[in-house]
Amino acid sequence: MGELIRQRGQTAEEFSEEAERFARQHGINATLSVRHVQRLSSGRRADGSPLGPLRPSTRRLLEALFERSVDELLSPAHEPVRHEANHEEAAEELRARLARARSLDDTSLALLRQRLEITRTLDRQFGASFLLPELRIQISHLEALLRDLFNSRKRRQLSRILVDALTLAAWQSLDQGDIREAWDHYNRARAVSRDAEDRSLESFAQASQAVVLLDTGDIDLATEMTASACHLAATRTPPLLASWLAAAHGEALAKKGETDSSIRTFDRAESLLPDKRNQAETPFIVYDRSHLIRWRISALSYQSQHVSLDLLSSTRAGMDRTFQRAYVSISINLAQAYHDDGYYQDAQRESEEARKGAARLGSVRLLTSAQKLDLRVRRELPLRRGRRVGSAGAATCP
């Protein structure tokens, strides 16, 4: 096994990362730490004692990765290594990799960007469930190109595409309920942006990563991360990104319970929003005034702040229906508002529609929220007989 890993040109750390990604992608419930890789490669424990039996899940993972039996993988490499032949093969492979990287031109970069944009468009309309595996492959190709690319201008351009792909994959992973993979993707995005010395990219990746913390309940750290991202991008930041970062911080403040600060921060986000978007500056952000309004509405709902049913209804009516996740999310907000205002049948109708929409998208994240609200409304509806259980109607909206 150790010899096979060396032939792949991988370190123990790189192989460990690949193995864990492979396990997640193929539904194998196994992990492979760096120390475990080192032990398996040497055939001995750290104290020199023999290896014990492997867990069945680890056995399945290794056999799937190498397409060989574990007995063969853990056996000694008896054949002498032909250093001369291996050296020539490695040299030829390296020359091919460098030539492939050198062939990357502006047209190729544009096509890579276009492929990612197509993935993003399909994702917002159909959900992440069938797109995430393909996006992982795109990321692997981009990372391989970046490793062997030395032209500084092309590296910056490719880094922007890679960070965009990683943050999109992170968002898709979070949508599918895989918090660990989402966090790992965001970490890789931040590392790439730091290597590219691009503060705009790094601040975007960092503020995006805070969403994972908001979902897991680590609100203080999420607030700290978004504030740090705003500070990181304080100078020479495209206006659209500055507005987006302020909105991300406003959301964290709302979840923390600092409502007044959240409102002021959203006001700042609105004041920073440019009248016209420069696509070349921030291709990795899909964001405009309508997105900001929805973001603000959602943030207000965290602290049970009253949101007008008229505002919610008009916002949803004016939405681009290709943004299916956003549509379901605003439906959840609307169901909550109907519930809070005493219109329990309307709340039940909206929560049921939100649940069905989340299921169609395959969004684990939205489905969980919709199901909780739907269950709550269904339980409370029989207890509200004699109260405002009917339809709100346009004339009765607050």
Q: Could you tell me the mean pLDDT of each successive run of 10 residues in the chain, 398 residues long?
A: 81 87 82 86 70 81 83 70 65 87 92 93 84 88 90 90 94 91 93 87 94 94 96 85 95 92 94 84 84 85 67 80 85 84 85 89 88 80 51 39
Structure token pair of residue 288: 């405009």
Q: How far apart are the C-alpha atoms of 286 and 288, rounded to whole Å?
A: 7
Q: Please list, in sequence order, all residues whose beta carbon lies within 8 angstroms of the beta carbon of residue 275, skipping any fewer than 6 positions away.
A: none
Instruction: Measure the CA–CA gap between 168 and 123, rounded to whole angstroms.
Output: 9
- Give the integer Cα–Cα distance in Å for 339 and 342: 5
For residue 273, the SS3 value is: coil
**How many Å apart are CA 20 and CA 25, to the nearest integer?**
9
Residue 199 amino acid letter? R
Are the C-beta atoms of residues 332 and 354 closer than 8 Å to each other?
yes
Q: Is 188 left (phi over 0), alpha (psi -120 to 50) or beta?
A: alpha
Structure tokens, 128: 């992440």
- Residue entry with tokens 């890993």: 5
Residue 398 is predicted with a pLDDT of: 28
Inter-residue contact 330 to 318 (CB < 8 Å): no
CA dist., res. 159 & res. 164, Å (int): 8
pTM for this model (two decimals): 0.71
